[in-house]
Chains A and B, each alone.
Chain A
Amino acid sequence: MSALETTPNPLVRRSDRLGRRRIVNRSMEVLAWLAAAIAVAILGVVVWSVARRGASELNLDLFTKSPVQFAIGNVKQGLANAFVGSIVLVAVATAMALPVGILIAVYLNEFAPPSIESGVSLVLDVLNGIPSIVIAIFVFGLLVVGHGQSGLAGSFALATLMLPLVTRTTMEVLALVPDSLREAGLGLGVPRWRTTLSIVLPQTIGGVLTGTVLAVARIAGETAPLLLVSSVVGTAVKWNPTQALYSVPLAIFEDSESPVPADHARAWAAALVLLLFIMCASLGARWLASRSRRKLGRTAR
């Protein structure tokens, strides 16, 4: 790696090697282009496979009908229970993670001394790095053993995965809020807490929303925790999170392991819906981010 020291400086060599150096340079450039092309091609192939196979299966029945066990013949079935379950699971998880995440960010950015701030940041990084399967088995041991599976346990696991993401983005936006705003509030004699809650926090709504959308997109496809803590389900559509709820990623997982082609078709359709949701959410978040950054930039000036 320390090419500068070990290899003799190519610049002081005789110039008859120039041709060779040009060739090496050119081939490395071509390789870099190729690498980028490969990455884009992989994405294209994955999205195209999902779109091609999923689109033909995409119909209203997918959202309105439940799967039928041991279906004989051409029974109309869908994944209504999985879509409803996913919506409930993700909504409850967001309701758990969002307020806590915002509070942590407020504490770290507005109150905590630097030593505590870096300590808690480290803890959040650690939490972010724990594999989701470990979170899954943790929640199983904490909430499921002795109580049975439930949607709430699933939401708790998803919230645990969401928390570091939400906190991180909220902290980033809070840091962007200009100090002049805080000083203006304090200078007018507004107490610290009111300055924080009614002057600083409202500035961050766009950024927090962006972070939340991205976090939702990330956990909507999370399978491992739900496989362990919210997977023993019937085929009925359930809204009650105290029962075990089915979910879209779990449906894709189970249908992908099935030998029945009809199940594969359903898995592709569900994957297409999930992928569309995640891509729309990421693009929407990108747009929101650029908008809110522009707005914050204006107030700073």
Chain B
Amino acid sequence: MSTLGTTGNAVRRPFTGRRTRPGDLLLQAVAGLAALAAIALVVLIAYKIVDGSRLSVSTYGFGFLERSVWDPVHGRFGALEFVTDTAITSLGALVIATPLALGIALFLSELSPWFIRGPVTALVETLAAIPSVVIGLWGIIVVAPILREHVEPALHSALGFIPLFGAPGTGLGVFTAIIVLTIMILPIISSISRELFLGVPAELKEAALALGATRWEMVRGVVFPYARGGIAAAMILGLGRAVGEAIAVAQVIGAFDNGASWNLFNAGETVAGKIALDFTSWSTQDEYSSYFYLALILLVFSLVVNFVAQRIVRGVARRQGLAR
């Protein structure tokens, strides 16, 4: 980032105050228009979503978030069910993915022998490139039967006293969605964390090791505190990705809201998944607008996630700039 600013300036300065050539003006205008178009596009997205949801927002207000009913016939809509299922699936995925991702990042930055570091890094990045629809297909046909036959009954008999592990279901449900989302956000969190860990100054690490710390004590005492903010940003970005994922979740979550339930093996329905599966069959203006309301929730959430992550990243960059 900083290099961008400086390279530009070095060349730009001598030109201010000189005569401007028409060609320069033209290129600058055309390129500037393109940048303006990008801004306009984002504004237009926000406007269209807000405009589309206006009817639903004015009719249901915040009550939309407190009801779990989707009834086009009687014109009653609420998103509580979808919002809670979205929260459960994406937070569940975050809880599983974060320690795994930190482990991968530590392995790649501190532990791995040089000859497997490159290949493993590439493989983890390849995991990120697999389209969500393929992971969803794999989830339906390969994972779901295994969960149904083996994992869910085993979890139920071992941990059945926890309400989360209730009676086994069809293999398609909230639990399956958590697994699929974990796989999807794992490479995001691990690749950001890996870069953070590689950015920890070697002097600090060497100082800890020279004081007699074991490798893990060095990681806990130096690497983690140094990368703390960045790890938070990575987790937030992963969460944003999980919340916005529509297709893979729609494929494996069973797409059926059966009321409030603690059982992870039951089917569910997320905000994004609901739009993906049912939007095109909207029947009334109310319902159409309510789908835009769902999209508005996702849009606002993604904006918040982005700004928070950006702030953290900038803060970390500033702190590291000072430290050096």
Contacts and interface: CB of A to CB of B under 8 A. Distances in A.
Contact of A40 (B23, B110, B123, B303): B123
A117 B31 CA distance: 13
A32 B137 contact: no
Interface in B129-171: 129-138, 140-142
A253 B240 CA distance: 23
A133 B272 contact: yes
A4 B211 CA distance: 13
Given A29-B111, A104-B38, A126-B303, A253 B120 contact: no
Contacts of A301: none
**Interface class of chain B by DSSP:** helix
Interface string A107-120: 11111101011101
B213 interface: yes
Contact of B299 (A33, A134, A196): A134
A106 B31 contact: yes
Contacts of A43: 123-124, 126-127, 130
Given A1-B224, A3-B220, A110-B8, A123 B39 contact: yes
B103 to A, nearest CB: 3
A135 interface: yes
Contact of A221 (B131, B187, B276): B131
Given A2-B225, A24-B214, A271-B137, A193 B27 contact: yes
A249 interface: yes
Nearest to B127: A43
B15 interface: yes
A175 interface: yes
A4 B213 CA distance: 12
Contact of A39 (B127, B228, B295): B127
A194 B22 CA distance: 11
B312 to A, nearest CB: 13
Nearest to B237: A129
B306 to A, nearest CB: 4
B224 A134 contact: no
B291 A137 contact: yes
A122 interface: yes
A133 B244 contact: yes
Contact of A117 (B5, B101, B125, B302): B5
Interface string A33-64: 11110111011011001100100000000000
Contact of A160 (B41, B125, B131, B138): B41
Contacts of B315: none
A130 B246 contact: no
A259 to B, nearest CB: 11
Contacts of A193: 21, 23-24, 26-28
B11 A227 contact: no
B124 to A, nearest CB: 5
Contacts of B310: 122, 125
13 contacts: A3-B224, A21-B217, A36-B120, A39-B104, A46-B183, A127-B41, A130-B302, A131-B246, A133-B276, A134-B298, A171-B4, A197-B27, A228-B279
Give 4 nearest A-B pairs by CB, closest first: A221-B131, A131-B244, A35-B103, A107-B31
